[in-house]
Amino acid sequence: MEPVIDPGMDTAELYRSFAMIEAPGLSPTYEAWALGIAGDPEIIALIDQLPAPKRQVNLVFAAARAAGAGASGYPEFRRWLVATWDRVRDIALSHATQTNEAGRCAVLLPLLAALPQPLAIIEVGASAGLCLYPDRYSYRYGDTVLHPDDGPSTVLLSPRIAGPVPVPDRMPRIAWRAGLDLNPLDVSSEADVAWLEALVWPEHDDRRERLRAAIEIVRKDPPRIVRTDALSGLRALVAEAPKDTTVVVYHSAALAYFTAKDRSAFAELVRDLPVHWISNEGELVVPGVREKLPVPLPDPALFVLAQDGEPVAFAGGHGQSLYWIG
């Protein structure tokens, strides 16, 4: 599944918006690249050779990184991109944005821990399944530290928190886990792991190290990820969950890849299922959530965390912050 791009936004506007909203404070390299491209008709013409869904900024930049682009300024990157465009184009055409950020588990954990235990968890858009293991990572919320039952994890997630975050005092008990994805990635595949690393933004060395550590954890107990779309496969997967569990369906930065029609159909489907629903998406992505926000979104780059369609917090897109709505 490819990202849905606003049909009213041309490629230059798409890259300018990324440079102004998504990249500032997070990646000077990507901010400079996106701003440079937005004002560069020759490079825009190259990108416009791609099908519309493949022009997405993260995909083109990850394809460039996978092809060997270094974290340089725009003039150097531009020269490299023109010389290497055929390789970048081929990678973009054959891959999709499937960022698998284990840090997002720090956003999900307070909600998972507060539900009746044990849990059966299902992730929509699971990629390689790293977010299917929230009980295998360690967490620090302010002064509270949580570890898996078998001791401290090699992955420590420590989001900035504000507001009345319901910090859990124990790990959720997960009895069963599964995911679904149109193109599951395999943690045992060197090519898939290399693509996951290419999707990490250049300056984010901590995320890259966390990705590698999470992959090692998941390799010891690979997840079941069903190759299907959510609308076709979710109901059957929910039916497989053990009967004595609380079933939770969740997704982070996944519903943005659905069309508006399919987002509405998905929301209707999940509300009809005997599950709890946790969404962690952009403000405009989940139908009905924005209208229920009691306060404005403080930063357009933040996600809205919601449970059963009710917004409860604002979250950093990579799980780096959690601001509870009090």
- Give me the half-sphere count of Cα atoms (radius 13 Å) on the Cβ side of residue 2: 16
Whole-prediction pTM value?
0.91
> Would you place residue 326 in the very low, low, confident or very high pLDDT band (cuts 50, 70, 90)?
confident
**Which domains are seen in the chain, by residue range?**
11-94 (no CATH), 102-324 (3.40.50)
pLDDT tens, residue by residue, 194-231? 999 999 999 999 999 999 999 999 999 999 999 999 99
Sign of CA dihedral 187, 105, 99, 198: negative
- Report the C-alpha gap between 199 and 23 in whole angstroms: 14
Q: Are 180 and 237 in contact (CB under 8 A)?
A: yes
- What whole-number distance in Å separates Cα of residue 284 and Cα of residue 268? 17
For the chain, how far is it from start to end, CA to CA, in angstroms? 36
Mean of pLDDT over the chain: 95
The continuous run of DSSP H or E covering 184 comes out as none
Q: What is the spatial distance between Cα 277 and Cα 206, in angstroms, rounded to a whole number?
A: 30
